[in-house]
Structure 1
Amino acid sequence: MPAHADDADGKAPKGAPKEPRPPARMSTVGGSQLGRPGTQVKLKPGAPKLPTKVSARSWIVTDAESGEVLASHNAHWRLPPASTLKMLFADTVLPKLPKERTHKVVPSDMQGIGEGSSLVGVKEGESYTVHDLWLGVFLRSGNDAVHVLAAMNGGVDKTVEEMNERARILHADDTKVVSPDGYDRKGQLSSAYDLSLFARAGMQNKDFREYAATATAKFPGETKKKKNGETKRESFQIQNTNRLLTGDVGIEPYPGIAGVKNGSTTNAGNTFTGVAQRGNRVLLVTVMHPDGQEAHGVYKEAARLLDWGFAAGGKVEPVGELVAPGSTANGGGAPHGKGGEAGGSADRAAAHAHSKPSGGAGTALGITAGVLVVLSLVAYVVHRRWPLPDLARRRRH
């Protein structure tokens, strides 16, 4: 049977090591206040207090449409992301592969899947549509589905390179991708801020929204021979491991939830990014590594923060913003030294530009103008209003 690492109940083992401390200096992308350790919030008179029962090492609550950060706690702390990194994988690869395309799985597609990975049950020698595989990624967090899609995209190495480049475009400078499925790998890191960027960018895509909001679906099984010599392929039902979408013992589905992704590994603990709508407001919340003392703690803490965010509408001053892709980031990238990489996206882009030989002023101006047009279009896409009626609809296939 597949091992579903994302089904962990969130309880910490006895004798767990003491909590680490966040770095004194972190990235200031999105605003200088987001680079400070600890909780950041600016309450106006009459604003509700933040929930006290939130133990996560890092979390952030944002308005998904405006990008305003309502409150945060160590927003740029670079931590292992677990399967929430699959949001970046989907945002990078999903637009490139037509969902009706079919692929027959070969042994090389399944190489490199980590021991104990979450699996949806992809079988070598069977054919799957891209649509099937994305359901396996979003609902069961299937690392087998991720590796097959990565193979269709030109391989794991190429996909990792593209994910890192996509992260830079999104100004997700806390993120370094080593494995496209989020499996624990040395040096693989992200942050609550970056995961929120990935969710916000991904949810601009209609198919991404549909997969993220799907509660249950049918997934193709094995092809078997019948006694009369004919073959028949069965299917089996899969359910989303996002407990705020489907519920579980001791936890109810969150009203208005529409995804996005949960994760759990040894190094990351439990992680979760969720989007929910109440009235005309859409909020994003990311929670990374609660202390594990509460069953389903990552979901319960996310729900408490969402409740607070909806109650705090118009009663808090933003402490930062989710920057738009291609914009000039407010602040800088991760700081030099331990836990951070030097420089931000603008610095790298400038260095890259200066390393190229000049091809003439006319050519340079033409390229610059073209880039500015593309970047302005990207920024518009991110800042437009989401189609709210579609966003919160829970789908069953």
Structure 2
Amino acid sequence: MSALHTSNVNKKSIACRLFYVSTLRGKGTRLKFFSSLIALCCFCFSTVIYAGLLNINPATVEAESWTILDTQTGQVIAEHNSHAQRAPASLTKMMTAYIALKEIKAGRLNKDEIITATPIVSIVQPDESQMFLKPGEKISVDQLLAGLIVMSANDAAVSLAEKISGSLPAFIARMNQEAQAIGMKNTHFSNPAGITMDDHFSSAHDLALLGDTIVRQAPEYLHYSKQPSFSYKNKEHLATNLVLKLDPSSDGMKTGFTKAAGYNLALTAHRPNSQQGLAERRLMVVVMGTKGMEKRAEVAYKLLDLAYYYTRNQVGLEGKQLIAEVPVNKSANKLYKVEAKQTQLITTSLYQQVGAIDLALFDLAQHSIMQADAQGQMTAIAPKTDVVTHMNVALKQKDLTAPVNQVIQLAQVNIYQGDQLLQSFDIEDQVQIEESTWYQRFWAWLQEKFPFLA
């Protein structure tokens, strides 16, 4: 998809496009400034608490910004400039498709529904990715979704937007509402296709959150994103995500390109978990600002494979695991057991070297980080097989006094690997403790003074 051009179009088309481009521009500029300020603050705090698991040298990763997210634990495995606001290009269409799939799930849209293309498709320029829809042309919602995700068609994007919300401005407002709900703090959308605009931006981190949300709430998206091609009007269109040909575990996600953005790629895959009994593991990789189609595939695939082989998921807290005991006043039960209510997973590092990882030395064929030995021969650095973690518990309640019947935050559990904080879990519970009678308290006092009565 190219940047915006207005040549060789009629006045009506130009007017439509200018409205399309100018929507929310002033508001977006202010949002961008404040979002940058907030992002800087959040980044400063988050890097102190949750540093990436793998220390990958950014100079060896040929992308302007990138991130690797473990969707099972929510941990960032590695990142660089992941909160920086950049042009998302057609990664924008992830949000457009997400909204469409939500509408289908809610019953307000049917994927088999046949719609009629409106004059809105005329705002798409000849040099943009498109299905070449004409006003009055009949097409199904299912075909539009395939065109949107596989072909990256801009006319599919604007057609779905208008169908769902009635107008582009209304749909754009919906996009930003959804982004806010997901927690995309460095994102502002101004069009549904990814056209370059000053107030249209996102970040690698935000797009990883969006990808995770799509997989969880609209997994039907993957039916389209892992398709190697899509045929329309007797013409086959090959998917531009080259990783689909390299990795059978990949489900794709979305590619994007403009001159302003460079080559972007959001990529997800699922592989068996190395720990028995755990569900398969899904990672999300986003790379932005690479130099070519092949390069974005190479960088994303290396980051993905490296993360799978040099990190693993394991149980951090067992369900019903005893965390601590809190003293209770005015009750027959003197101690309240603080327990983990459910099993909590953590992601741990299997990389055992001190120095930063050179991504250029990661061998995809061997799934290994390579290093030169004393004789100058390249040898593989094997992942660790054993991982030691430790837990720190901070009680939020020194004691409890009966009667109690409310939800209370009882403790915070911090899990470390070495001196690196991996995860923090807040333990809260619906605490129900009845106040004991004077007789029960007296009898408890006697048992304390005379243990043989117990």
Query: Structure 2-normalised TM-score?
Result: 0.55
Residue-by-residue CA offset, 1:136-170 (whole Å, 9 max, x unaligned): 00111000111111121112111100000000000
The aligned residue for residue 102 of structure 1 is 114
The structure 1 residue matched to 2:152, chosen from 141, 146, 150, is 141
The aligned residue for residue 237 of structure 1 is 236
Quote the offset at 1:213 in angstroms: 1.6
- CA separation in 2, counterparts of 1:28 and 1:283? 26
Once the two structures are superposed, the pairs formed by residues 271-290 of structure 1 within 5 Å of their partners are: 271-279=264-272, 280-290=280-290
- CA separation in 2, counterparts of 1:35 and 1:287? 23
Residue-by-residue CA offset, 1:37-64 (whole Å, 9 max, x unaligned): xx95345xxxx86686312111000112
The structure 1 residue matched to 2:303, chosen from 296, 302, 305, is 305
The structure 1 residue matched to 2:229, chosen from 188, 210, 216, is 216
Q: List gaps (5 residues or longer) in structure 1.
A: 7-22, 222-234, 248-252, 318-397
Aligned residues: 269
Quote the offset at 1:25 in angstroms: 7.5
- CA separation in 1, counterparts of 2:140 and 2:98? 18
- CA separation in 2, counterparts of 1:94 and 1:238? 22
The residue type paired with residue 101 of structure 2 is L
Q: Does 1:32 align with 2:56?
A: no
- CA separation in 2, counterparts of 1:49 and 1:172? 24
- CA separation in 2, counterparts of 1:146 and 1:103? 14
Quote the offset at 1:114 in angstroms: 4.7
The structure 1 residue matched to 2:261, chosen from 240, 253, 268, is 268
The 3-state SS of whatever aligns with 1:296 is: helix
Quote the offset at 1:201 in angstroms: 1.0
Once the two structures are superposed, the pairs formed by residues 58-137 of structure 1 within 5 Å of their partners are: 58-96=65-103, 97-107=109-119, 109-114=120-125, 116-137=127-148
Q: Does 1:176 align with 2:176?
A: no
Q: Does 1:316 align with 2:323?
A: no
1:118, 1:140 within 8 Å by CA — same for their partners in 2? Answer: yes
2:87, 2:260 within 8 Å by CA — same for their partners in 1? Answer: yes
The residue type paired with residue 134 of structure 1 is L
Change (3 A) 1:217 1:114: closer
The residue type paired with residue 312 of structure 1 is Y
The aligned residue for residue 428 of structure 2 is none
2:263, 2:293 within 8 Å by CA — same for their partners in 1? Answer: no
Change (3 A) 1:157 1:64: same
Change (3 A) 1:211 1:28: farther
2:115, 2:140 within 8 Å by CA — same for their partners in 1? Answer: yes
Quote the offset at 1:240 in angstroms: 1.5
- CA separation in 1, counterparts of 2:74 and 2:84? 19
The residue type paired with residue 41 of structure 1 is G
Quote the offset at 1:98 in angstroms: 1.2
| Higher Rg | 2
- CA separation in 2, counterparts of 1:25 and 1:171? 13
2:43, 2:83 within 8 Å by CA — same for their partners in 1? Answer: no
Q: Does 1:203 align with 2:215?
A: yes
The aligned residue for residue 18 of structure 1 is none
Quote the offset at 1:316 in angstroms: 2.6
Change (3 A) 1:162 1:34: farther
Change (3 A) 1:203 1:78: same
The residue type paired with residue 225 of structure 2 is A
The 3-state SS of whatever aligns with 2:52 is: strand
Quote the offset at 1:94 in angstroms: 2.4
Q: List gaps (5 residues or longer) in structure 2.
A: 4-35, 104-108, 273-279, 313-347, 351-454
1:163, 1:177 within 8 Å by CA — same for their partners in 2? Answer: yes
1:100, 1:130 within 8 Å by CA — same for their partners in 2? Answer: yes
The residue type paired with residue 126 of structure 1 is E
Residue-by-residue CA offset, 1:9-37 (whole Å, 9 max, x unaligned): xxxxxxxxxxxxxx89735659833599x
The 3-state SS of whatever aligns with 1:264 is: strand
The residue type paired with residue 159 of structure 1 is F
2:65, 2:81 within 8 Å by CA — same for their partners in 1? Answer: yes
Residue-by-residue CA offset, 1:161-216 (whole Å, 9 max, x unaligned): 00000000001010010111011112111000110111111122132121112222
- CA separation in 2, counterparts of 1:184 and 1:35? 34
The structure 1 residue matched to 2:174, chosen from 162, 179, 182, is 162
The 3-state SS of whatever aligns with 1:287 is: strand
Quote the offset at 1:117 in angstroms: 1.5
Structure showing greater relative contact order (alpha-carbon pairs closer than 8 Å, 6 or more residues apart) = 1
The residue type paired with residue 236 of structure 1 is K
- CA separation in 2, counterparts of 1:149 and 1:255? 30
Quote the offset at 1:92 in angstroms: 1.8
Residue-by-residue CA offset, 1:218-257 (whole Å, 9 max, x unaligned): 32x2xxxxxxxxxxxxx33222121112x4xxxxx22411
- CA separation in 2, counterparts of 1:130 and 1:182? 20
The aligned residue for residue 355 of structure 1 is none
2:97, 2:149 within 8 Å by CA — same for their partners in 1? Answer: no
Change (3 A) 1:35 1:123: farther
Quote the offset at 1:266 in angstroms: 1.2
The aligned residue for residue 6 of structure 2 is none
1:27, 1:34 within 8 Å by CA — same for their partners in 2? Answer: no
- CA separation in 2, counterparts of 1:171 and 1:309? 24
- CA separation in 2, counterparts of 1:199 and 1:49? 22
Percent identity, aligned pairs only? 26
For the aligned residue pairs, the C-alpha RMSD in angstroms reads 2.7
The 3-state SS of whatever aligns with 2:220 is: helix
- CA separation in 1, counterparts of 2:180 and 2:57? 32
- CA separation in 2, counterparts of 1:172 and 1:144? 25
